[in-house]
Amino acid sequence: MTRLTMDTGSYVDVPKDLLKEIERLEQLFSTDTAKLKQITEHFVKELEKGLSVQGGSIPMNPTWVMSFPTGYETGTYLALDMGGTNLRVCQITLTEQKSEFDIIQSKYRLPEELKTGEADDLFEYIADCLMQFIETHHGDTGRLEKLPLGFTFSYPATQNYIDEGILQRWTKGFDIPGVEGHNVVPMFEAALARRGVPIKLTALINDTTGTLIASAYTDTKMKIGCIFGTGCNAAYMEDCGSIPKLAHLGLPPDTPMAINCEWGAFDNEHKVLPRTPYDIIIDKDSPRPGQQAFEKMIAGLYLGEIFRQIMVDLHDNHDVHIFEGQDISALRKAYSLDSSFLSAIEEDPFENLSETADLFQTKLGIHPNTHELELIRRTAELIGTRAARLSACGVAAISKKKGYTSCHVGADGSVFNKYPHFKARGAQALREILDWPEKTDPKEEDPIEILAAEDGSGVGAALIAALTLERVKKGNMHGILHPENFR
């Protein structure tokens, strides 16, 4: 069996002060089965509240994606992904072959300063990247027909229409003034027009919705799409009859509607999540205090920062002797450690944790002793384990709400794909929450299995553009603001 946590019995020679801290951290970060079940119960209620007319703290945004793909969608589409770290532009051709596609893509770095600069600068940079992509792949843009584009905008946005997105609030460290509360589409389209980019926006989508649809394109058991990356969130297909806040539209109750949960906002009221003093500091010092309580305990943007906060706190505590007499100024820099730093610690294969020692030395100029290394490793495990176990509560809550006892969940994002043991720890937590019996054969599938997703912001965005064009062709104009872009 994979070793998911360190055996506490191995801390035989660890000095008392460090041992006490390890035990304190174990207490603070523990998420036992009973706690996970309590969180999940509350989560189900919050999902329902978000769909109600009164609303709740989880936005539960309708996305106007009104069907799963059949696998027979066709056509060529552009897709733009504005994630937390990169910009990606793709051209996707959905071929005649069922569930098959061709893709060409380019990545562009999203300069850090654009995340906190002016909106126009950000959208013009994006327009320039798109233009560069089209010129490279299509040559002269002068005579080109406008290409349909699916724009993956992975921030909470109210979508009264599929081609509209009113940013509720920035997440993932973005802080651009004048955008919150506004529709981002005209800002984007104005930049395209200024640069003469031959594109028509067909759908604004969230990465989770893209993940759900792209995964369902190749696997019909896929019912939930999740992202565990810089941020964290999920989408699933709801029936309009279960969305009281859409009742005024009079849609038939069995009409499907993909919901972008924006579950990062779960428990902003701090009712159930086991918050530590470190989570409280991170929240207080973030650009949006009081927001994204769940996300701040799980997402890649915060995992390294939680670890850093702990290390600084222990060093500054006079009852604890850690990194004594050493210069920890590099460690004092906020957000200087990302989740790959924690991954590397958890991945250190050596008994004496020599790779972790090298990492501390090169990255932070700190030389930890053997016992400090053990505390470091255990701290990383606790943070990583808590993140994986809490994220399972969200998956369990959607499954319970929908009555899914067996399905696939498509997941993407750097934490899911790269963080050691994240998948196994999440699967174990799901087993505990949903009371599954232990497996008899290790190869056996779990009833609800979280699997690596298909490319949501590429293929998913293209599919959503295709599904939208198709339903418009059939006369379903619900949630379409600019019909002219669909002809």
Region near ligand BGC per CB under 6 A, out of 138-146, 153-161, 243-251, 463-471: 153-161
285 noted as active-site residue: no
Residue nearer to ligand BGC on the CB measure, 356 or 414: 414
We find the least distance from the C-beta atom of residue 299 to ligand BGC, in angstroms, to be 7
Burial of residue 446, with CB atoms counted within 10 A of its CB: 0-12 exposed, 13-18 middle, 19 or more buried: middle
The binder of ligand BGC chosen from 172, 371, 378, 423 (CB under 6 A): 172
Query: Per rule CB under 6 A, is residue 171 in the interface with ligand BGC?
Result: yes
CB 460 within 8 A of CB 213: yes
- Which one of the listed residues 57, 88, 99, 207 is annotated catalytic? 207
Token representation of residue 237? 């297909």
CB 211 within 8 A of CB 410: yes
Region near ligand BGC per CB under 6 A, out of 152-160, 343-351, 356-364, 400-408: 152-160
We find the least distance from the C-beta atom of residue 170 to ligand BGC, in angstroms, to be 9
Under 8 Å CB-to-CB from 419, ≥6 apart: which residues? 300, 303, 339, 342, 343, 346, 384, 387, 388
Interatomic CA distance for residues 332 and 347, integer angstroms: 24
154 noted as active-site residue: yes
Residue nearer to ligand BGC on the CB measure, 157 or 357: 157
The binder of ligand BGC chosen from 31, 208, 291, 356 (CB under 6 A): 208
242 noted as active-site residue: no
Q: How far is CA 115 from CA 16, 205, 299, 305, in A?
A: 45, 20, 18, 19
Region near ligand BGC per CB under 6 A, out of 89-97, 103-111, 200-208, 400-408: 200-208
The binder of ligand BGC chosen from 99, 206, 291, 485 (CB under 6 A): 206
Region near ligand BGC per CB under 6 A, out of 87-95, 206-214, 311-319, 322-330: 206-214
Query: Per rule CB under 6 A, is residue 233 in the interface with ligand BGC?
Result: yes
Query: Per rule CB under 6 A, is residue 296 in the interface with ligand BGC?
Result: no
Query: Per rule CB under 6 A, is residue 428 in the interface with ligand BGC?
Result: no
Closest CA to 145 of 93, 198, 191, 197: 198
CB 203 within 8 A of CB 195: no
- Please report, as ranges, the residues that interact with ligand BGC according to CB under 6 A: 154-156, 171-172, 206-208, 227, 229, 231-233, 262, 264, 295
